[in-house]
Chain A
Amino acid sequence: MTYIAKPRLHHPTLTLNNVGYTRRDYEGRVSTLCAGCGHDSISAAVIQACWELDIEPHRVAKLSGIGCSSKTPDYFLGASHGFNTVHGRMPSALTGANLANRDLLYLGVSGDGDSASIGLGQFAHAMRRGVRMAYIVENNGVYGLTKGQFSATADRGSKSKKGVINSDSPVDLVGLALQLGATYVARSFSGDKAQLVPLIKGAMAHGGAAFIDVISPCVTFNNHGGSTKSYDYVREHNEAVSRIDFISDRNEITAMYEPGEVIEVQQHDGSMLRLRKLLSDYDPTDRNRAMNYMQTHHSRGEIVTGLLYVDPMATDLHTSLNTSELPLNAMSAAQLCPGSGALAKLNASMR
């Protein structure tokens, strides 16, 4: 926590992206989270990803619920649209916004409490409907704002800072997302931006429901010896399935790889995800195998990270509902309210 604002001065070599902004232009206000919070690193990764993607800040809508994680949209993309919903209700507010205007890029920011406890139902339905969004859960396994009780994602057997052993089974958000039909599922770690930034870029370019579970240590309440969400524990047990490079269609592909070493996945907008395999038997386009793999490794105490599953040809809720291409705010009053004649006709068709 700091009293001074981050100085405006920046490094002399800081460059502009293709839409004319520096990385610093994607920052928000100075964070009021605890010093060393993993969430701040995720904010930095979002900033880096949006700058690299040449996204104009006004094209992003960031929505969040309640909690430490849900405070973070104040700390990045200060020039974007934002909406802070009631606890756990980010997915429905986001679904509504998305239906009204599909031209924006939607970033849903939530935490383990917000998505795995009070908002578990909301989370589930947003995934199964295929709302086009990048849904980021900043997962630290504790309720930091209420002094560190276990959250629903805390592993059974892990210890709280006060020494209490958690007896409940954890909610596995990645497993749920896979099961419920999310078309881009990843897990990452706030302490590994080299992995996290391309995952966020891939999610923002994805054509359907993209979900990233980011393990983000709570330095104040959950970064001790008995924790399974501490910096040390995650680093020791991190099992990355691949190294990911996000390649927008403008970039030239230069590096050469042996066949079988690399999987390239082209998304619908032309962007390319290049996955350099770290595990030879992993296929991120096979949902069933991904789920199996996750379960097997979880039982060994390993934390599998990377892009776990992607359906490159994903569709979204707008396709299913056959909605208008035009955002509601771009329609004329006559289009939005076609009059009593049209209503009567519609009613008649239902009788």
Chain B
Amino acid sequence: MQRTDISNPTYFHKVVDCQWACPAHTPVPEYIRLIAQGRYSDAYMINWTSNVFPGILGRTCDRPCEPACRRGRVEENNGADPEPVAICRLKRVAADMKDDVKNRMPSLSPKNGKRVACIGAGPASLTVARDLAPLGYDVTVFDGEAKAGGFIRTQIPRFRLPESVIDEETGYILDLGVTFKSGQRIDSMNGLLAENYDAVFVGCGAPRGRDLVLPGRKEAAANIHIGIDWLASVSFGHITKIGSRVIVLGGGNTAMDCCRSSRRLGGDEVKVIVRSGFEEMKASPWEKEDAMHEGIPIMNFHVPKAFIHENGKLTGMTFEIVKAIYDDKGHRSLVPTGEPDALIECDDVLVAVGQENAFPWIEADCGIEFDKWGLPTLGKETHQSTVPNVFFGGDAAFGPKNIITAVAHGHEAAVSIDRFLNGEDIHQRPDPLTNLMSQKMGIHEWSYDNDTSNDLRFKVPWAKAEIALASIKVEVELGFDVATAFKEAHRCLNCDVQTVFTESACIECDACVDICPMDCITFTVNGEESDLRERLQAPAHNKDQALYVSAELKTGHIMAKDEDVCLHCGLCAERCPTGAWDMQKFLLNTTKAGSSCRDGAQVKIKVADEVVA
């Protein structure tokens, strides 16, 4: 194998699994350490800079970071069930326990005379506004609703996300000199373009819930509701009750929100019914667990056939019972089992079988092209549409995803807009700011806590079921207390503190090999990667994780380290007599809009952006 090029920022970035998996690349271990130190406001600001909505995401994020977390892998075959660090809920701790952070918000530059319109006040648009407004852009955000937040406000039930948190975090952005035109739904793109904004950002989401056209749909329409519309009506208080027997169709997170909301609005017998198998459902595992925890059964392999009604009143639904058959190539098909159709009685049905993008307000002649799926034709990184000054982000760009993806889109689009309005090529993307710094403080002293915790994941406490189910406004999860947050934070392995190897110093004494608790390090003769992976102290079968390979050493051997289950405990560096191993903190901040994203930007370490640990 070739010597690993650690000067390439992606190498160490990939080792920080959580940060790599996060669409916004939030420096997770950095803020978790600050939480352990009780520096909640500092932890909050790291999040705020990176993902804009720490309090909201700390309750609702899809958490791509957690399945990626190394902790889940190192706990494998070490006793109880392996679990990642509760990254998402630690984020909430930072938001809940911080002090007033108003005076830490960015200062505003003088206006630069450029006007940017953001359509929709959801997470993507607000991120664009947050990134551009402090730079002097005149940002106007339009939304059809009275308050900002978009999907966050209309579709996430209050028992998961209190309104006060939305108000606070959308407020930080609107207070940056952003003009918020509430109650103004844009109904003509041509009309907006005629107002001569320098750039337009479309972050209107995927606002249309898919319907299910089956026999009886029209006749029983009064008791059949589209999930996301129903959730919005609940959110605004237009709907406060539902029948006692409710069927929720669909297996995504919207379905989970629908069923749990129903439980709180009079639904005593709420069932989630899905076509596919339980495992293939799109909802996050924890959202399924939460629903089942509230006594909601999930029935799988039931394909909806018809709405049954009597005199225009819905009485139930029939389902065909299927099973999954896999062909040679592993493709699944759902085949009827031959059992008689199931009739399930109900008073109301919530249809949560997916969302669609809809842009009825973008005129065909305005120059914005759409693909065959009805999505705008965009540059993958630039988010630029076929009209050069119109950009898309969030669910409106590449179809429905989640909040953290929308935030990441917002940052990218803001960079594009900033470069575009400064006359620079937007296909040239700025490199991230990276830094690698030794954490050595003394002979066996590191500036991070390297003593690996043996604790298993801590559970977030819940409000009592009778209280939680009595009102849709009572927040179910109570969040970690300080003591539990401290212990959970200690489960973090500090994967950003990298093991950095210097060939010239190594005397091949094997001390690091002998001490490594996870058998990560091997000195052996070089070979092809597939061969080398088998010849290590412990086989390296997780191909997603890199091997860190040195140049040839004095004896002709190389050092090969499997990054997969490294605890970052630093014992290799402590046992190294020559300092060939060192523990160095890798910090990566994606470059946001502003002077640093533009050509010829001097690389300056902006202390204000980071917290010097």
Contact = CB atoms under 8 A, between A and B. Distances in A.
Interface in B18-77: 73-77
B454 interface: yes
Contacts of A231: 507-509
A190 B538 CA distance: 21
Interface in A21-36: 24, 30-31, 34-36
Interface string A303-331: 00000000000000000000000000000
Interface stretch (A8-16, A57-65, A145-153, A166-174): A8-16
Given A4-B569, A14-B538, A41 B73 contact: no
Interface stretch (B279-287, B292-300, B573-581): B573-581
How would you classify the secondary structure of chain B's contact residues: helix, strand, loop or mixed?
Answer: loop
Nearest to A75: B514
Given A2-B574, A41-B510, A231-B508, A9 B538 contact: no
A193 interface: yes
Given A34-B577, A36-B577, A6 B571 contact: yes
B567 interface: yes
B139 to A, nearest CB: 49
B467 interface: no
Interface string B553-580: 0110000000001010101001111100
Interface in A267-287: none
A3 interface: yes
Contact of A9 (B74, B510, B577): B74
B452 interface: yes
B554 A35 contact: no
A231 B571 CA distance: 21
Contact of B565 (A8, A12, A35): A12
A262 interface: no
A181 interface: no
Interface residues of B, number: 39
Contacts of A9: 74-75, 78, 452, 454, 517-518, 567
Interface stretch (B194-202, B356-364, B373-381, B443-451): B443-451
B539 to A, nearest CB: 6
A12 B507 contact: no
B577 A4 contact: no
Interface string B154-166: 0000000000000
B509 A38 contact: yes
B565 A11 contact: yes
Given A1-B443, A8-B454, A41 B511 contact: yes
B78 A10 contact: yes
A306 to B, nearest CB: 18
A99 interface: no
A340 to B, nearest CB: 57
Q: Which 3 A-B pairs have the closest CB atoms?
A: A36-B577, A44-B514, A12-B76
15 contacts: A7-B451, A9-B78, A9-B517, A10-B517, A10-B518, A11-B518, A12-B565, A30-B515, A36-B575, A37-B509, A40-B515, A41-B511, A41-B514, A219-B577, A231-B508
Interface of A: 1-14, 24, 30-31, 34-38, 40-41, 43-44, 190-191, 193, 217, 219-220, 223, 231-232, 235
Given A6-B515, A12-B74, 11 more contacts: A8-B517, A9-B78, A10-B518, A12-B565, A24-B517, A31-B515, A36-B577, A37-B511, A40-B514, A41-B510, A219-B507
